[in-house]
Amino acid sequence: MATPIKRIEKEFIMKTLYDEQLPVTYNKGQTQYNLILTKPVKEEMEFEISRPITGIEAGKKLDLILDFRGQIISFPAEVISAANNIITAKEPEYFYKNLDRAYSRVSAPNDLQVKFTFTSERYSLSYPKVNEFEPDEEEDLMKSFDANNLNDLVEQMETILKRFASGYKIVVFKDVSPVTTEEKIIAQTGKALFIPSTRKTLPDEDPYPKKRLITEMIFKRFLESSGIDVYNVNDAYLKFIKKKLSKGISSDLWVPILFQEYVIGYIRVWIDRDGFRPFDYGVIDSLYQFSKILAYSLKINKYFESGKIKNNPFEGRIIDISASGLLFSYPISDIAATLMPETELTVELTTPYRTVLNKARVVRTFSDRFRAYFGCNLIEMKNDDLRFLFEYIYGKPFTDRDAVFLSGQV
């Protein structure tokens, strides 16, 4: 992940840039330009450029990179003026290191055509939706269960649930919407509500690498968003847990059933009599496995078939591209709504010289009023495709020096 450089280090780098006349690089299309500071930085940066750059005007932001003693650093520079091979820009607030893409991004060449298709079946459904995509894990899930017979599968799961819970419930939001506080918060967050003991409180932290739990902070923020005054949130939170204790429930767990980006229901287990141990993280893991198996079983039993999206190739508008990733936009639509982080696509990059077929994984998304934008990493690329794409995008041979400069950090 890109890390902002602290002020003192940033000032040292800017001073060194001027004192040692180190070049800063700007990539535009298939052309690379070198910029050199002409005076010390004092709220503005004045660069002399190696040759004229078309389209540079006041207000334009330039993404600049430099090799500072073996470390690749990037920073944005907003142009104040440009004339006679001199560019004056505002001093950037931050420099960045530890960048999360492998090559610098440039404007896409005009003769590049790009088409995408989904690598797996996608759906547009009416269930509650979260901002993360849950990939299928079909092969590993089916070793101990037969997902083809849904009734037998549920009976098999119920037998296991009775071993560690005095009560259980499996709910699918088919004809009903979330109503209770518990249903609403798991539908909104896509995370599990875990109360190991109703004599205590919710967990302060989530130990899972890919966060699974509704922590105390998340729960209180949910209460605020539900209209509870900020001064009454803590009382409402404690009342919520005490109510469970008053009903005789000593341990409670609600785990969402996730299908792609949809919360299609939940599995709930609870303890309200003696003879059972309080729920622990092992129970959470088991219910998450059950939820994945249920979602897969519903899929293969055609439960979501009416919402399947026809997997035709679609064209995105390429904003910029590198040898390891690209940023594209697509109109707000059902297709755009299904392009969640972790979604994998097949991407066809067609140039006048060669077509590269590869996979891309969506890593970030954002949108405006009319279009959605998707940052993707190119994955599983063959070495000869990588070399060709590099030389096509940057307009120069893929040398060892370029690999050292660009790989791993930019």
Do residues 206 and 59 both lie within one domain?
A: no
Do residues 165 and 291 both lie within one domain?
A: yes
CATH code of residue 148: 3.30.450.40
Is 107 inside a domain boundary? Answer: no
The model's confidence at residue 406, banded by pLDDT at 50, 70 and 90, is very low
Do residues 222 and 366 both lie within one domain?
A: no
Percent of the chain's residues with pLDDT above 70: 90
In this structure, of 69-83, 170-184, 389-403, the range with the lowest mean pLDDT score is 389-403
What are the backbone dihedrals phi and psi of residue 283, each rounded to the nearest 5 degrees, phi first? -65, -40
Amino acid letter, 1: M
Mean pLDDT of the chain: 86
Last residue of a domain, one of 272, 306, 340: 306
Q: Is the pLDDT of residue 377 over 90?
A: no
CA 267 to chain centre: 26
Which pLDDT tens digit goes with each residue over 49-67?
877 888 888 888 888 888 7
Do residues 355 and 383 both lie within one domain?
A: yes
Q: Is the pLDDT of residue 408 over 50?
A: no
Do residues 270 and 362 both lie within one domain?
A: no
Do residues 327 and 210 both lie within one domain?
A: no
Is 105 inside a domain boundary? Answer: no
The model's confidence at residue 383, banded by pLDDT at 50, 70 and 90, is confident
* Among 4-8, 352-356, 396-400, the range of highest mean pLDDT: 352-356
Average pLDDT score over residue span 63-89: 83
Do residues 302 and 184 both lie within one domain?
A: yes
What per-residue confidence (pLDDT) applies to 354? 92
> How is residue 229 written in tokens?
């005054």
**Taking the model in full, what pTM does it have?**
0.67
In this structure, of 296-310, 371-385, 390-404, the range with the lowest mean pLDDT score is 390-404
Do residues 82 and 133 both lie within one domain?
A: no
Is 221 inside a domain boundary? Answer: yes
| Structural domain span for residue 178 | 129-306
Please give the C-alpha separations between residue 336 and each of 139, 332, 379, 402, in angstroms, as whole numbers: 28, 6, 21, 35
Three-state SS string over the chain comes to CCEECCHHHHHHHHHHHHHCCCCEEEEECCEEEEEEECCCCCCEEEEEECCCCCCCCCCCEEEEEEEECCEEEEEEEEEEEEECCEEEEECCCCCEECCCCCCCCECCCCCCEEEEEECCCCECCCCCEEEEEECCCHHHHCCCCCCCCHHHHHHHHHHHHCCCCCEEEEEECCCCCCCCHHHHHHHHHCCEEEECCCCCCCCCCCCCCCCCECCHHHHHHHHHHCCCCHHHHHHHHHHHHHHHHHCCCCEEEEEEEEEEEEEEEEEEEEECCCCCCCCCHHHHHHHHHHHHHHHHHHHHCCCCHHHECCCCCECCEEEEECCCEEEEEEECCHHHHHCCCCCEEEEEEECCCCEEEEEEEEEEEEECCCEEEEEEEEECCCHHHHHHHHHHHHCCCCCHHHHHHHCCCC
Which pLDDT tens digit goes with each residue over 313-333?
999 888 888 888 888 889 988
Is 106 inside a domain boundary? Answer: no
Do residues 299 and 188 both lie within one domain?
A: yes
The model's confidence at residue 127, banded by pLDDT at 50, 70 and 90, is very high
CATH code of residue 9: 2.30.110.10
More confident residue, 298 or 50: 298
Is 108 inside a domain boundary? Answer: no
Do residues 149 and 227 both lie within one domain?
A: yes
CATH code of residue 393: 2.40.10.220
What per-residue confidence (pLDDT) applies to 80? 92
Is 234 inside a domain boundary? Answer: yes
Q: How many domains does the chain have?
A: 3
Which pLDDT tens digit goes with each residue over 140-196?
555 666 777 888 888 888 999 999 999 999 999 987 889 999 999 999 999 999 999
Do residues 300 and 316 both lie within one domain?
A: no
Is 52 inside a domain boundary? Answer: yes
What per-residue confidence (pLDDT) applies to 268? 97
Last residue of a domain, one of 278, 306, 334: 306
Q: Is the pLDDT of residue 250 over 80?
A: yes
Do residues 143 and 72 both lie within one domain?
A: no
Is 13 inside a domain boundary? Answer: yes
